[in-house]
């Protein structure tokens, strides 16, 4: 098994006629993802290498049975595209676009939460890969094979780095989920941890965080209460200088200084081992699973 995407995924890409949208959609299809449609307003009736293009997401759902959307439109229009997918009844919306205004993300998130019929992953994320089943997004899939390690990460390229270290140590993956580094991720660590906990194929979970916010601290509490499978953590930014301060109010909200050390400490306090480098993450995983 895997989580979120598999052979039942029927993908529609919004922004499919842009150069990046086209490049990565075709790569996803080459990998074996069932790409059923693309959407670009004004280009309905055309096709991209045989993939039918529609003017609206609604049409892609009605005519092609799309159930998953990959959002590839530029930042000023991306939240609108997410809301269009939600309104069309898409179950899983994966937003790759980087640089969406924070308030746009906030409204899109709140609408999705209120209506309760879709899940949003991202924005500003690398997407999801279930090896040998489906790849939706920009993860370079060639590095990964099927297996029993689930990976969830806030950072795209760090996901590849850690995933690659695991692969070199002989591990395969159930699913790799990039939740994105934006202020309002549609899906949090804790959502994905819960999905991996319930996935019979996943035997170990690797969670890659980074400085800022308190998502890792909240994940630590969730793991203690709900996750019985072993979790290995990694936090990027131990040596990063304090970034631009969000102001005093930000520090009150997070209830933490948002440093890598504070996050690692929070995880370790709940029994989660934290690797100090991507290589060490793979080493800890080997110790736990006894490879």
* Rounded Cα–Cα distance for residues 138 and 25 (Å): 9
Our CB check for another protein shows the closer of 30 and 62 to be 30
How far, rounded to the nearest angstrom, does the alpha carbon of residue 119 sit from its chain's CA centroid? 11
Q: Lay out the site mask for another protein across 17-56 (x = CB under 8 A, - = otherwise).
A: ---x---x--------------------------------
**CB-based burial label for 204 (10 Å; 0-12, 13-18, 19+):** buried
Our CB check for another protein shows the closer of 147 and 156 to be 156
Our CB check for another protein shows the closer of 182 and 199 to be 182
Which of 11, 120, 211, 285 binds another protein (CB under 8 A)? It is: 211
- Site residues for another protein, window 222-281 (CB under 8 A)? 234, 236-241, 243-254, 276-279
What is the closest distance, in whole angstroms, from the C-beta atom of residue 62 to another protein in the complex? 27
Contact 161, 208 (CB under 8 A): no
Helices (H), 40-116: 57-64, 75-87, 102-115
Q: Is residue 24 flagged as an active site residue? A: no
* Rounded Cα–Cα distance for residues 91 and 84 (Å): 12
* Rounded Cα–Cα distance for residues 138 and 24 (Å): 6
Which of 183, 197, 259, 265 binds another protein (CB under 8 A)? It is: 183
Collapsed DSSP state (helix, strand, coil) of residue 71: strand
Q: What is the contact surface with another protein in residues (CB under 8 A)?
A: 20, 24, 75-76, 96, 98-104, 106-107, 109-111, 113-114, 126, 137-140, 143, 153-161, 164, 181, 183-184, 208, 210-211, 213-215, 218, 234, 236-241, 243-254, 276-279
> Catalytic residue positions?
248
């Amino acid at each position: 098994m895997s989580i979120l995407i598999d052979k039942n995924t029927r993908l529609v890409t919004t922004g499919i006629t842009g150069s990046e949208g086209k490049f990565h959609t075709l790569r996803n299809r080459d990998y074996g993802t069932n790409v059923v449609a693309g959407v670009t307003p004004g280009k309905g009736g055309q096709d991209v290498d045989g993939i039918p293009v529609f003017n609206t997401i609604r049409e892609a759902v009605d005519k092609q049975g799309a159930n998953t959307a990959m959002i590839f439109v530029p930042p000023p229009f991306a939240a609108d595209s997410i809301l269009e997918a939600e309104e069309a009844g898409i179950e899983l919306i994966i937003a790759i676009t980087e640089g969406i205004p924070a308030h746009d993300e906030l409204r899109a998130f709140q609408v999705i939460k209120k209506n309760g019929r879709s899940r949003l992953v991202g924005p500003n994320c690398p997407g999801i890969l279930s090896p040998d089943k489906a790849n939706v997004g920009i993860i370079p899939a060639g590095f990964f094979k099927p297996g029993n390690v689930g990976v969830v990460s806030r950072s795209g390229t760090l996901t590849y780095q850690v995933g690659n270290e695991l692969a070199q140590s002989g591990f395969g993956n159930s699913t790799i989920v990039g939740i994105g580094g934006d202020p309002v991720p549609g899906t949090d660590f804790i959502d994905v941890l819960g999905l991996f906990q319930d996935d019979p194929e996943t035997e170990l979970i690797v969670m890659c965080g980074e400085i800022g916010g308190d998502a890792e601290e909240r994940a630590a509490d969730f793991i203690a209460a709900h996750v019985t499978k072993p979790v290995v953590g990694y936090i990027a930014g131990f040596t990063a200088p304090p970034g631009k301060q969000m102001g005093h109010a930000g520090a009150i909200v997070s209830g933490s200084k948002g440093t890598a050390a504070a996050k690692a400490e929070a995880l370790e306090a709940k029994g989660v081992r934290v690797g100090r480098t991507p290589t060490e993450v793979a080493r800890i995983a080997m110790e736990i699973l006894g490879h």
